[in-house]
Chains A and B, each alone.
Chain A
Amino acid sequence: MLTCKQASQLASKALDAKLTFRERMALGSHLLMCKLCRDYRQDLRLLRQGFKRIDTQDRLLSDSARLSEQSKQRIAEKLHQQTQDTETK
């Protein structure tokens, strides 16, 4: 019989790899009896969905962070430099 700790590890591993038959059986029978671990598995799926969605909507760190004017200036100079380099070649 798995402990919750072991079951939680298998529930996570299932998101990254195919569980062996033995692992699937062990996890399945633990989940049948353990609501906390069923909740945990559901939350892991939700975490996955949440972070997938962040990427598609590009909302990670939305709005707040911006390049400072000095940074923009520095980058603009570099870009300008490289444009000139390629033109003179």
Chain B
Amino acid sequence: MVHQLSAPEVWLERYGNVLYRFALARVRDGYVAEDLVQETLLAALKAKDNYAGKAAEQTWLVGILRHKIVDHYRKQASDKTQAFDETMLPNLDNGLFDSDGAWEASAVSSWSKPEQLLEQTQFVAAMQTCLDRLPERMAQLFVLREVEGLDSEDICQMLNISTLNNFWVIMSRTRALLRQCLHQQGFTRD
């Protein structure tokens, strides 16, 4: 199926909020998100003659926005002189492991009925809440890896992470934190 583009004037009305939400979930700052939407629509306007009609209009616009977001992450990381590594993370093992490296009792409950859990809108809301509570660069790292599905090596370059080993350590802590946060949001094994 070949898709047709609608007139650029209707893009903003039709997709503005979708794009804005998509951006906001990934950059946290409303002004930055708004800028990204604007850049996306301007870029789309320039590129509209090259639109091949392979993707639906919204998918095409979201695709452009994804690139803009990644550019934004990259720029942010390059603005920071310090590389993103383990030493920048808050001490997150508190509350997760004791001094012997064993799980703390408060960290151990797990989720029941996972399939049903994923269907719940409250669970999706909780995932968003927990993502927002992470330090910003951790959240970016996680989104690039788990939501955008990018390669670890590419993410290291983008976010100025010096070694893959650092990447794994940060990812591990991020996942542990998210899980702990979801537990605190009430999603526990009953």
The bracket for how many chain A residues form the interface is 35 or more
Q: Are A61 and B128 in contact (CB under 8 A)?
A: yes
Whether A47 pairs with B20 at a CB distance below 8 angstroms is: no
Main secondary structure of the interface of B (DSSP, over half): helix
Q: Complex: how many Å from CA A13 to CA B176?
A: 12
Q: A6 and B101: CB pair below 8 A?
A: yes
Picked from B102, B110, B167, the residue with its CB within 8 Å of the CB of A16 is B167
For the side of the interface on B, what is the size category?
A: 35 or more
B143 to chain A, nearest CB (A): 8
**Are the CB atoms of A17 and B152 closer together than 8 Å?**
yes
| Interface flag for A24 (CB, 8 Å) | no
Asked if A16 contacts B16 (CB within 8 A), the reply is no
CB-CB under 8 A for A12 and B146, given A6-B101, A50-B123, A67-B37 = no
B34 near A67: Cβ-Cβ < 8 Å:
yes
When the two chains form their complex, are residues B41 and A60 in contact, meaning their CB atoms are under 8 A apart? no
Known A9-B169, A17-B164, A62-B21; judge A47-B103 contact (CB<8 A): no
Interface check B118, CB cutoff 8 A: yes
Q: Decide: B147 and A47 in contact? CB cutoff 8 A.
A: no
The residue that A65 contacts in the complex, of B21, B169, B176, with Cβ under 8 A, is B21
Interface of A is mostly: helix
Measured CB to CB, the closest approach of chain B to A89, in angstroms, equals: 12
Q: B83 contacts the other chain (Cβ, under 8 Å)?
A: no
Interface string of A41-55 (1 = CB under 8 A from B): 011101111111111
Question: Which of chain A's residues have a CB closer than 8 A to the CB of B145?
Answer: 16
Query: Which single member of A6, A12, A43, A65 contacts B110 (CB below 8 Å)?
Result: A43
What CA separation (Å) do A83 and B48 show in the bound complex?
A: 12
Closest to B172 in A: A12
Judge whether B71 is part of the interface by a CB distance below 8 angstroms: no
Cβ of B12 and Cβ of A79 under 8 Å apart?
yes
Q: How far is the CA of A44 from the CA of B118 in the complex (A)?
A: 13
Please report which residues of chain B, range 36-78, place their CB below 8 angstroms from some CB of chain A when the two chains form the complex: 37-38, 41-42, 45-46, 62
CB of A79 to closest CB in B, whole Å: 6
- In the complex, whether A3 has a CB less than 8 A from a CB of chain B is yes
